Chains A and B, each alone.
Chain A
Amino acid sequence: MNFFQKVWLIVWKDLVIELRTKEMLSAMFIFSLLVVIIFNFAFDPGMSYIKDVAPGILWVAITFAGTLGLNRSFINEQENGCLYGLMLAPIDRGAIYLGKFLGNLLFMLLIEIFLFPIFVVFFNLSVLQSLPLLLLIAFLATVGFAAVGTLLAGMAANTKTREILLPILFFPLVVPVIIAAVKSTGRVLNGDPMDQLAGWLQLLAAFDIIFLVVCFLTFEYVIEE
């Protein structure tokens, strides 16, 4: 079995577990929906500035829901000592990281696919012509979230404070992703010139590459004993 088959096995395992219970996906989805709804109370939906704050609301909802999912991805492994099972298996630590990363990425993207149409309806946006660009932004930003989040979730799950710790570790580090995602989504929704958009997309891509490499390399120190 080669490296990528091992990665795929871990992704497959997480997918099967999730599709049998649907615990995490449903919680993430309902939670993200609640965040969007609560923000509607904070900002009057009929106001003229609502299109300016809409991207922020969307990405806050995705970030919060993502944190829920990231927490579960390693706390689940701790029950019944599953993490030790993974560590004892003849699998490279890098494969565990990539498997977990891909699982988290997939779950977050699924939530975004469910959430986005509802968000469009709530905020009365017209997105059809800019859909490919929005998908690209969402993908790049979510890769960044999942790359950093998977590493930090692996650490947080093994500490005393567990799920409380993850947002505190996670949010300061993903500030660039949040800014870039919110700004570029805003540009696309407002139909702003493309030259500004390219810079944000490059920033997202750079973040993704740098942190995939750094987190891949440091993950082996996270699940060591």
Chain B
Amino acid sequence: MKTIDVTVPKKGLAVEILGGLTFVMVLLSLWAIFIYVPTERVMGIVQKIFYYHVSLGFNTFLAFFIVFIYSILYLWKRDFYYDIVAHAAAEVGIVLCSLVLITGPIWAKPIWGTWWTWDARLTTTLILWMIYIAYLMLRSAAGSDAQKARYAAVFGIVGFVDVPIVYFSIHWWRTIHPVVIKASGMSLAPEMKQTMFISLAAITLLHIFILTLRVKVGLAKHTLEGLKIKLTAGH
């Protein structure tokens, strides 16, 4: 096991700026969604949830992609830093994914007339959620820190490779989800497009901000455990 030599992370200026920027962008997106953008003619006010729903969906995928990349990096470099980032991204990803699964049915009930349907994207998102719940359960069940990190990395890789196959299998099985972004460009009014991009930027910033904080907590915890080991070893 690699010995721990991480300096205690300070609350840097960069995080403060990132936090401030996130705050401004989230406020701006709320303004855009509730005041700036016109209400959709057919679906009405419920359509407004779509700006956050899509942004959260994109960021869920981004979070699990980070888990995948940092899992590979961990197995390759064997530096606990990568494991801490992968773990943090998985936790944040589950929160984002849960929000996707909550905002989706709120939209679907008035539009499709049902909370839930076994459509390809819905079902894939649900399976995605289950895969990363399993990821966290594997972490908590594994023994040593090194074993946790290795097992989680293997599962993070295998789980992510599985996602497109799950999607295709369910897609062939059945699908009714609206495809908003087509190859020919987005089928949206200009104000809606702008609101969409503002929301996407806001949620992505929020995601990165929470992830950064969570990584810092992970690093601090890792440092603390290292100090404990040093203490019991009599240094």
Query: A203 an interface residue at 8 Å Cβ cutoff?
Result: yes
A180: B residues at CB distance < 8 A: 169
Q: Are B157 and A218 in contact (CB-based, < 8 A)?
A: yes
Query: A151 an interface residue at 8 Å Cβ cutoff?
Result: yes
Query: B150 an interface residue at 8 Å Cβ cutoff?
Result: yes
B151: A residues at CB distance < 8 A: 155, 158-159, 222
Identify A221's interface contact among B75, B130, B134, CB under 8 A: B75
Interface size class of B (residues with CB under 8 A): 20 to 34
Identify B137's interface contact among A158, A168, A173, CB under 8 A: A168
A159: B residues at CB distance < 8 A: 138, 141-143, 151
Chain B window 168-195, contacts with chain A (Cβ cutoff 8 Å), 1 for yes, 0 for no: 1110110000000000000000000000
Chain A window 161-196, contacts with chain B (Cβ cutoff 8 Å), 1 for yes, 0 for no: 100010011011101100110010000000000000
A172: B residues at CB distance < 8 A: 127, 130-131, 134, 159, 162
B137: A residues at CB distance < 8 A: 161, 165, 168-169
Q: Are A214 and B158 in contact (CB-based, < 8 A)?
A: yes
Identify B169's interface contact among A151, A179, A215, CB under 8 A: A179
A218: B residues at CB distance < 8 A: 75, 154, 157-158
Q: Give min CB distance, A177 to chain B, whole Å.
A: 8
B170: A residues at CB distance < 8 A: 175, 179
Q: How many residues on chain A are close to B (CB under 8 Å)?
A: 34
Interface hit among A52-60, A78-86, A205-213: A205-213
Query: B211 an interface residue at 8 Å Cβ cutoff?
Result: no
Q: Are A158 and B158 in contact (CB-based, < 8 A)?
A: no
Q: Are A206 and B134 in contact (CB-based, < 8 A)?
A: no
A128, B36: Cα distance in complex, Å: 66
Q: Give min CB distance, A105 to chain B, whole Å.
A: 18
A214: B residues at CB distance < 8 A: 157-158, 161
Q: Are B168 and A225 in contact (CB-based, < 8 A)?
A: no
Q: Are B162 and A173 in contact (CB-based, < 8 A)?
A: yes
Question: For window 122-158 of chain B, which residues contact chain A by CB distance below 8 Å?
Answer: 127, 130-131, 133-134, 137-138, 141-143, 146-147, 150-151, 153-155, 157-158
> A155-B138, A165-B141, A215-B158 are known contacts. Are A221 and B150 too (CB-CB below 8 A)?
yes
A214, B68: Cα distance in complex, Å: 13
